[in-house]
Structure 1
Amino acid sequence: MADTTTGNVREADTKTYLQRHRIIELLDNMTSMLIYNKPDDPKEYLVEQLEKLKVSQQTGMYYPCLFDESNLQAIFGMLDPTKQGFITKEQYSEALRTIGVKDFELMPTGGDVDKITYETFLAEAKNGLTKASATFKV
């Protein structure tokens, strides 16, 4: 009986540790970037990404992420093929969820008239990706 209790305590401690330090998110992000970029030296690439993450944590600047501004611009462009300069609130929400942004403004500027601009989309996407990709509290 003591072994089961000890095992449960260890499991709970491990889960708490992984959550507190966002280890699962870190490994998910690193694995995704590794598979996407397919560097010749994967270990060196991972070290570089961890160094970038450390700088990001210290400065609040760049964060290692699969999506950069050109990718976000392309996504917006696909959703706005006629170049009206806006997308619908539904498109905005779906696009952010698709790229892994979980926490975003549900009623952003322009949402009340169903016209979300690129600037609003970009700001919410960058903010959400920072939170999702930083793997530390921002």
Structure 2
Amino acid sequence: MAVTLRGRLATSQFGAMEANSSREIEARNYLEKHRIMELLTYLTSALLFFRPAMFQMLDSSNKGSISFIQYKEALKTLGLCTADEVLKDDGHGITCEKFMYEVKKKTQEIWSAF
């Protein structure tokens, strides 16, 4: 009887794994078919292009640049950089153009993984 019960549990677990895999495949197909990832990338880029408010908030003195620390914190806030990720500080301030370029690049890197 234990073998039968064990066999049923194994079959049940396999069925659950198969169902999860099937649902995951179905979800991925849906995202690809409707180009959801491309839409999210576009919306994020458009938001930062048309509303560079985050940079303006960080550049409160209107110097036209922000510090490297502000830049890294902004990337973390946007979910584009982890706390332990190493970024290269070249010693220069980050301009709005460079900020927007890097945000767009990092956004594309993240979404390309999907």
- Report how many aligned residue pairs link the two structures: 99
Q: CA deviation at 1:85?
A: 2.0
1:63·1:130 contact (CA, 8 Å) conserved in 2?
Answer: no
Match of 2:23 among 14, 17, 26: 14
Q: 2:47 aligns with which of 60, 63, 67?
A: 67
> Which residue identity is paired with 1:80?
D
Listed as ranges, the gaps of 5+ residues in structure 2 are 1-8
1:127 aligns with 2:108: no
Moved over 6 A (4+): none
Kept in 1: contact 2:48–2:100 (CA 8 A): no
Match of 1:77 in 2: 56
Q: TM-score under structure 2 normalisation?
A: 0.59
Question: Over aligned residue pairs, what C-alpha RMSD do you find?
Answer: 3.8
Secondary structure, in 3 states, of the residue corresponding to 1:81? coil
Select the structure of larger CA radius of gyration.
2
Aligned to 2:87: 106
Query: Does the 8 A contact of 2:80 with 2:107 survive in 1?
Result: yes
Corresponding residue for residue 29 of structure 1: none
Alpha-carbon deviations, 1:42-76, whole Å to 9, x = none? xxxxxxxx5xx58x68xxxx82337231322x211
Unmatched 5+ residue regions in structure 1? 27-49
